[in-house]
């Protein structure tokens, strides 16, 4: 839609689940809207509102996840500027738990991709019927779980609900079942973000703030990024992490960012769900 709206595939509506563990149709109101900084409730952004925004707001509203990259490599000086933006993110107790690995070697990126996909097949085998494991060969749409999957899946849902959401299960299967799928989208640069697992209050908040600083800085520099959570597949490759990437205790890989020059311009405004706000004055 952003690159070429004429004749593009368009998905209408939003993801809604009407019953069961993931029921969410009661959690949203008013559907999707464009940025509405003035809180007027308009369905379309007024041109005057957009032009009056600060440069920071414009960067936030126009940032998109990029999955199509040019082959052109990102200069080292721009990468340093992006990491520097992450370095100056706030952190609990100012403990600054981050560390970074910049990978521009195509063969190494491809090897990490292959290792992650191999490890993530375990996820697919546990959470999807066997007929769906090979997406390039469409499986029986009426396939059912085996008896042991029926026993295991409810436990996984309670233990790791975010990892067993239907969208995650389908997304992981799309990556692992297609030999041509590249989890880093053939980006010329991949930045691995590491964190000291002993960080104050845990690493999640600090790591997320740091990464978002980097993403916004990259967008401001005309570069594209995409968060890649499938890097979790490297958790099953301890020797590779240590001997090849140099990841040693107390650090752990928490996120991967693809980085490169986008193919085309998709810096357009998109609709998002309205914020859920409880306001006490």
Nearest to 211 by CA among 195, 230, 235: 195
Residue 194 confidence (pLDDT) = 97
Q: Is the pLDDT of residue 256 over 80?
A: yes
Percentage of residues in the chain with pLDDT exceeding 70?
93
Mean pLDDT of 114-140: 85
Q: Is the pLDDT of residue 70 over 70?
A: yes
* Domains within the chain, CATH numbers bracketed: 1-64+266-281 (no CATH), 76-260 (3.40.109.10)
Q: Is the pLDDT of residue 212 over 90?
A: yes
Q: Is the pLDDT of residue 201 over 90?
A: no
Average pLDDT for the chain: 89
Name the pLDDT band for 40 (thresholds 50, 70, 90).
Answer: confident
Q: Is the pLDDT of residue 144 over 70?
A: yes
Mean pLDDT of 219-241: 95
Q: Is the pLDDT of residue 129 over 60?
A: yes
The continuous run of DSSP H or E covering 219 comes out as helix 204-220
Contacts of 143 (CB under 8 A, 6+ apart): 129, 130, 131, 132
Threshold 0.85, pTM exceeds: yes
| Long-range contact set of residues 137-144: C-beta below 8 Å, sequence gap at least 24 | none
Residue 136 confidence (pLDDT) = 64
| CA-to-CA dists, residue 61 to 36, 68, 227, angstroms | 10, 20, 17
Residue 177 confidence (pLDDT) = 87
pLDDT in tens, 71-102: 999 999 999 999 999 999 999 999 999 999 99
Name the pLDDT band for 202 (thresholds 50, 70, 90).
Answer: confident
Mean pLDDT of 27-56: 75
């Amino acid at each position: 839609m952003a690159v070429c709206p004429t004749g593009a595939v368009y998905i209408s509506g939003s993801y809604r689940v009407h019953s069961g563990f993931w029921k969410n149709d009661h959690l949203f109101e008013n559907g999707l809207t464009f940025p509405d900084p003035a809180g007027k409730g308009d369905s379309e952004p007024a041109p005057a509102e957009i032009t009056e925004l600060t440069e920071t707001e414009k960067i936030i509203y126009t940032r998109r996840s990029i999955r199509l990259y040019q082959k052109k490599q990102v200069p080292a000086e721009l990468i340093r500027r992006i990491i520097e933006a992450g370095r100056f993110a706030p952190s609990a107790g100012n403990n600054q738990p981050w560390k970074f690995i910049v990978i521009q070697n195509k063969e190494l990126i491809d090897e990490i991709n292959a290792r992650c996909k191999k490890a993530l097949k375990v996820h697919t085998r546990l959470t999807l019927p066997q007929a769906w494991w090979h997406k390039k060969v469409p499986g029986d749409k009426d396939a059912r779980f085996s008896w042991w999957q029926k026993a295991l899946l409810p436990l996984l849902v309670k233990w790791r609900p975010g990892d067993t959401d239907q969208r995650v299960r389908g997304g992981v299967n799309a990556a692992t079942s297609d030999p041509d799928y590249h989890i880093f989208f053939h980006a010329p640069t991949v930045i691995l973000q590491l964190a000291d697992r002993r960080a104050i209050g845990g690493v999640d908040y600090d790591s997320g703030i740091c990464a978002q600083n980097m993403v916004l800085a990259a967008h401001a520099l005309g570069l594209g990024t995409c968060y890649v959570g499938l890097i979790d597949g490297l958790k099953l490759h301890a020797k590779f992490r240590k001997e090849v990437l140099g990841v040693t205790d107390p650090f752990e890989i928490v996120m991967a960012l693809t980085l490169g020059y986008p193919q085309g311009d998709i810096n357009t405004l998109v609709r998002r769900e309205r914020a859920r706000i409880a306001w006490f004055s």
